[in-house]
Amino acid sequence: KEVETQTKLANVVVLATGGTIAGAGASAANSATYQAAKVGIEQLIAGIPELSKLANVRGEQVMQIASESITNDNLLQLGRRVSELADSKDVDGIVITHGTDTLEETAYFLNLVEKTDKPIIVVGSMRPGTAMSADGMLNLYNAVAVASSKEAHGKGVLVTMNDEIQSGRDVSKMINIKTEAFKSAWGPLGMVVEGKSYWFRLPAKRHTMDSEFDIKNIKSLPDVEIAYSYGNVSDTAYKALAQSGAKAIIHAGTGNGSVSSRVVPSLQALRKDGVQIIRSSHVNAGGFVLRNAEQPDDKYDWVVAHDLNPQKARILAMVALTKTNDSKELQRMFWEY
Ligand SMILES: NC(=O)C[C@H](N)C(=O)O
């Protein structure tokens, strides 16, 4: 009978990439001072025997890095492995353990390029497993619970942190010293409580099955860089990034993606030279950039990033540029994804 119940459980693969969820500190009091990417996936899974009641779980170590060091090649490698697993008949759901620093970027990338309606859940932790009140165990338990549930199908790439289910598109790391770190300007999609998910809303933007992008067709990602804006900003960074080969520059602007008069002429010139200029905002609780509001985007042929923060705008720009270099098409994509 036990064997019968076992076979009915969903098959979930946990792809490990490193981060604090695989971190270790010198003592239990070290919640902020520790080394990320130390513990292997087998050990993480073995540390949560309760997982076997949720799903048939197996782990795979894809890489072992702190997420601030993730590269475009790492993204492509991970994306391809997720796609292979999603195509496999004996895989029902995929969990990715990841550092939290760039977790929002990876989750959004996968949300754009994975052609599957199977659950893909990205999860991390704010404290290493060796710390008092470590949050990784429950976050991972919740990730496996959501990955093995029928209701998670077709909802795009999800993130389970702090008992919440967030859309991989919307969620962002808002603070680096609390376990309640991941928030979306538009609210979580649901909650996970004691291994059961409760849903309240659905993503409205195009993703996964409904996306025009497919990891199988992406050989490499173009160079897209970010330049930060502030009072007395100069155009040095923008020019240097363009000179080093950036195909698009994300303007991490103030307020409504506003651009300093000290920088406007250089951005106009760069656009004339073929570099795409994408206006985003670095305001803390989530920017919302309106076209032609702060700057005449139609006249300058610039693109606005809608509500995407600069790091997410970079992800969409890279993926979009694999298909088109037409600024109108890019703008359509920024509205739709
Ligand atoms: N909490 C974390 O995971 C932070 C770590 N630096 C990482 O992103 O890998």
Residue range 228-241, pLDDT digits in tens: 999 999 999 999 99
The average pLDDT across 264-274 equals 98
Query: Does the pLDDT value for residue 218 go beyond 80?
Result: yes
Reported as type and span, the H/E element at residue 167 is strand 164-167
ipTM surpasses cut 0.90: yes
With a 6 A CB cut-off, is 104 part of the ligand 1 pocket? Answer: no
The protein residue whose alpha carbon is closest to atom 1 in ligand 1 is 126
The average pLDDT across 135-146 equals 98
With a 6 A CB cut-off, is 99 part of the ligand 1 pocket? Answer: yes
Which two structure tokens, joined as six digits, stand for 54? 């949720």
Cα 328 to middle of ligand 1, angstroms: 36
pLDDT band with cut points at 50, 70 and 90 for residue 110:
very high
Distance CA 54, CA 121 (A): 15
Mean pLDDT of the chain: 97
Distance CA 249, CA 252 (A): 9
Distance CA 300, CA 313 (A): 19
Instruction: State the pTM of this model.
Output: 0.97
Amino acid at 42: E
